[in-house]
A and B are shown apart, each in its own frame.
Chain A
Amino acid sequence: MSTSTSGPSAPIKEVLQQGQHGKLMGVNATYLRSFRYISYFIFIGFILILPNLVNGLQLRLATLASIWFVATMGLQVLMGQAGLVSIGQAAFVGVGAYTAAILATKHGFSFLLTIPIAGLSGVILAIIVGFPTLKLRGHYLAIASIGVGQIILVLMVNWRAVTNGMDGITGITRPVESNRLYFYICAAIGLAIAAALYSLRKTPVGLAFTALRTDETAAGAMGISVAWHYLVAFMISGFCAGVAGGLFAYNEGFISPYGFDLGQSIVLLTMIIIGGLRHISGALVGAILLIFLPPNLEFLGSSYMVIYGIAVLLVILFAPDGAAGAILKMRDMFLRKISRKSGESSHK
Chain B
Amino acid sequence: MDITLRHVQDFFQVLTNGVAAGAVYALVAVSFILVYKAVGIVNFAAGEIVAVGGYVGVVLANILGLPLLIALPICIVLMSFFGYGFQYVVYVPLKGKSFLIIAISTLATGIILANGIQLIFGPSPRRLEPLLSNPTVDIKGVFISVPNLIIIFISILTLIGIKLLFAKTRLGFQMMSTAQDPEMARLLGVNTDKMVSITFMLSFAIAGLVGFLVAPVLYLVPTMGLGIALKGFAAAIIGGFGEVNGAIVGGLSIGILEILFARYLSSSFQSLLIFLVVLGFLYFRPEGIFNREIGQKV
Give A contacts to B, CB under 8 Å. Answer: 79, 83-85, 87, 129, 131-133, 135-140, 142-144, 146-148, 150-151, 154-155, 157-158, 213, 216-217, 220-221, 226-227, 262, 266, 269, 273, 300-306, 308-310, 312-313, 316-317, 320
Which chain B residue has the least Cβ–Cβ distance from A5? B96
| Shortest beta-carbon contacts, A-B, top 6 | A309-B111, A306-B115, A309-B112, A220-B298, A312-B108, A139-B42
| Chain B contacts for A142, CB-based, 8 A | 42, 44, 103
Q: Is B85 an interface residue, CB under 8 A from the partner? A: no
| Chain A contacts for B94, CB-based, 8 A | 316-317
Contact residue among B101, B105, B233, B295 (Cβ-Cβ distance under 8 Å from A143)? B233
Which chain A residue has the least Cβ–Cβ distance from B272? A154
Are B112 and A83 closer than 8 Å at their CB atoms?
no
| Chain B contacts for A317, CB-based, 8 A | 93-94, 105
| Chain A contacts for B286, CB-based, 8 A | 132, 135-136, 140
| Chain B contacts for A320, CB-based, 8 A | 101
Q: Is B268 an interface residue, CB under 8 A from the partner? A: yes
Known: A144-B278, A213-B98. A154 touches B271 (CB 8 A): yes
Q: Is B19 an interface residue, CB under 8 A from the partner? A: no
Which chain A residue has the least Cβ–Cβ distance from B105? A316
- A–B complex contacts, Cβ < 8 Å, 26 sampled: A79-B100, A85-B100, A131-B283, A136-B294, A138-B99, A138-B103, A142-B103, A147-B230, A154-B268, A154-B271, A216-B297, A216-B298, A227-B297, A301-B119, A302-B118, A306-B112, A309-B110, A309-B115, A310-B108, A310-B112, A312-B105, A312-B107, A313-B112, A316-B104, A317-B94, A320-B101
Are A148 and B275 closer than 8 Å at their CB atoms?
yes
Give B contacts to A, CB under 8 Å. Answer: 42, 44, 89, 93-94, 98-101, 103-105, 107-112, 115-116, 118-119, 123, 226, 230, 233-234, 237, 241, 268-269, 271-272, 275-276, 278-279, 282-283, 286, 294-298
Are A136 and B297 closer than 8 Å at their CB atoms?
yes
Contact residue among A144, A266, A313 (Cβ-Cβ distance under 8 Å from B105)? A313
Min C-beta distance of B7 to chain A, whole Å: 27
Known: A266-B111, A313-B108. A150 touches B275 (CB 8 A): yes
| Chain A contacts for B42, CB-based, 8 A | 139, 142-143
Are B100 and A138 closer than 8 Å at their CB atoms?
yes
Are B123 and A302 closer than 8 Å at their CB atoms?
yes
| Chain B contacts for A155, CB-based, 8 A | 272
Bound form: Cα–Cα A308–B116 in Å? 12
Min C-beta distance of A139 to chain B, whole Å: 4
Contact residue among A137, A262, A308 (Cβ-Cβ distance under 8 Å from B297)? A137
Are B100 and A84 closer than 8 Å at their CB atoms?
yes
| Chain B contacts for A221, CB-based, 8 A | 298
Which chain A residue has the least Cβ–Cβ distance from B232? A143
Min C-beta distance of A273 to chain B, whole Å: 6
Are B119 and A306 closer than 8 Å at their CB atoms?
yes
Min C-beta distance of A35 to chain B, whole Å: 30
| Chain B contacts for A266, CB-based, 8 A | 107, 111
Are B295 and A137 closer than 8 Å at their CB atoms?
yes
Bound form: Cα–Cα A132–B286 in Å? 8
Which chain A residue has the least Cβ–Cβ distance from B266? A158
Are B226 and A139 closer than 8 Å at their CB atoms?
no
Min C-beta distance of A71 to chain B, whole Å: 17
Bound form: Cα–Cα A87–B111 in Å? 12
